[in-house]
Amino acid sequence: MLTVTQAQAKVLEFALQLPPETVALDADALGLVLAEDVAADIDLPPYDKSLMDGFALRSADLPDGHGSLTVVGEIMAGQAPRTPVGAAQAVRIMTGAPMPTGADAVIVVERTRLLEGNRVQIDDQPPLPGQNMLPQGKEMRRGDVVLRTGTVLRPQEFGVLASVGRASAAVYPAAQVAIVATGDELVEPEAIPGPGQIRNSNGPMLMAQSCRAKALPRVLGIARDRLDSLRELVREGLKASILILSGGVSAGKLDLVPGVLQELGVEAHFHKVEMKPGKPVFFGTRGNTLVFGLPGNPVSSLVCFELLVRPAIGRLMGHLDAGPHWVKAILTEDFVYRTDRPTYYPARLESTPSGWVVKPVPWFGSADLRGLLEANAFALLTPGNPEHGAGEVLAVLNVEGN
Ligand code: AMP
Ligand code: MG
């Protein structure tokens, strides 16, 4: 049986970056990964620019920071400079306005006082050449590569892309994830379950996990534990980049998923991983489509997604660091848990001034989804000594951290 690390490596072996697409830089592009290097089309700032409201002048005119100068003009942001600044002269200037020729410094308005007859009195420290202004091209020069392939588009990247004239960019597109819940016992959330029935909680949960990973989910609904029903939805799901099935992969009489996948041309790469919950998990591929059969117990399904599916989505979408993301955290209370396999135990992870701390939440096993409402992470507990003392350092899967 593969370890989780081996299973992750196997998945990533088959997870290829999606072909880049050029997209508008609108809300849907937030969090996508750039698939091109982007160069500046102009200098920024495009001109020597004032960073303050005040007076532009020649620093040499005020060797001790005090004196009165003749105000020869006024310049607002958005105006081109007209009047040059000569000896003993100043121009009133606003933040963002281009510096007039001749001036090499700006005195902030708070250090000035207007006098009669177009004069200004200045009482400040001796000005340094270049103070309170940004020279042309200081931020970037035309032709500079300012963003590289692999950069995640955060708000500041949107701003810089706009600054260099880009309203669209090549990105790795959102991965399409088809989601199929399987089980004769399942009814949709709006139905009242009859005898022996339960509501399909995995479908909405996997949809939300896919969205959290910035993928594009396609919820295909419930397949029954019958070959024809499974075949129909699997065929449809195989059109996506990733197909996730929940349920039907264990050793039950009606666990038909691996057989149907094989029949439809999916090559199996593993079936079972040394983990708890989630041991019966299946992974295969058909062409470039990755196929995950997650065990139906809701917590198994959620954990398998975070450990195996999410890194695959990250890789398809061009993330250099596809995760999962682990932190070391200090256990805050004594905890006894006996296990025969590496266990991902629902826990509450918190950042404190002295580092990460973690506390397991009350939990009744892989069918207990409610227990996860208190949790935001999973602590890894390994076989061996079941007694974990407060102060012990644990590896914790930080599923909400990014
Ligand atoms: P299976 O993996 O199909 O053997 O299912 C294992 C357990 O998970 C059973 O108790 C199922 O009823 C439950 N289960 C399967 N699919 C879902 C689902 N979509 N939502 C909630 N529970 C499920
Ligand atoms: Mg089932």
Is the minimum distance from the CB of 230 to ligand 1 under 6 angstroms? no
Ligand 2 centroid to 261 CA: how many Å? Answer: 15
Distance 252 CA to ligand 1 centre (A): 12
Query: What is the rounded CA–CA span in Å between residue 273 and residue 303?
Result: 12
Task: Report the CATH architecture of 326-397.
Answer: Beta Barrel (2.40)
pLDDT > 90 in the chain, percent: 98
Cis-peptide into 383, omega within 30 deg: no
How close is the Cα of 304 to the center of ligand 1, in Å?
14
Which residue(s) pair with 113 in the sheet? 121
pLDDT the model gives residue 402: 63
Query: Would the pTM of this model clear 0.85, i.e. be above it?
Result: yes
Of 375, 381, 397, 215, give the one whose Cα is nearest residue 292: 215
Tell me, using a 6 A CB cutoff, whether residue 217 lines ligand 1: no
Q: What digits encode the pLDDT tens for the residues 220-271?
A: 999 999 999 999 999 999 999 999 999 999 999 999 999 999 999 999 999 9
Burial of 268 per CB tally in 10 Å (0-12, 13-18, 19+) = middle
- In which residue ranges of the chain is CATH 2.170.190.11 found? 49-134
Which atom of ligand 1 is closest in space to residue 203's alpha carbon? 19
Residue ranges of the chain with per-residue pLDDT less than 50 = none
Q: Hey, which CATH number is domain 21-44+139-171, 3.40.50.720, 3.40.50.150, 3.10.450.50, 3.90.105.10?
A: 3.90.105.10
Tell me what pLDDT residue 243 has. Answer: 98
Nearest CA owner, ligand 1 atom 6:
296
Return residue ranges of the chain for CATH 3.90.105.10: 21-44+139-171
Ligand 1 within 6 A of CB of 201: yes
- The CATH code of the domain at 4-17+174-316 is 3.40.980.10
Superfamily (CATH H level) for 49-134:
Molybdopterin biosynthesis moea protein, domain 3. (2.170.190.11)
CATH 3.40.980.10 in the chain, residue ranges: 4-17+174-316
Domain with CATH 2.40.340.10 in the chain: 326-397
314 lines ligand 1 (CB under 6 A): no
User: How many angstroms separate the CA atoms of 232 and 249, rounded?
Assistant: 17
pLDDT at position 322 is 86
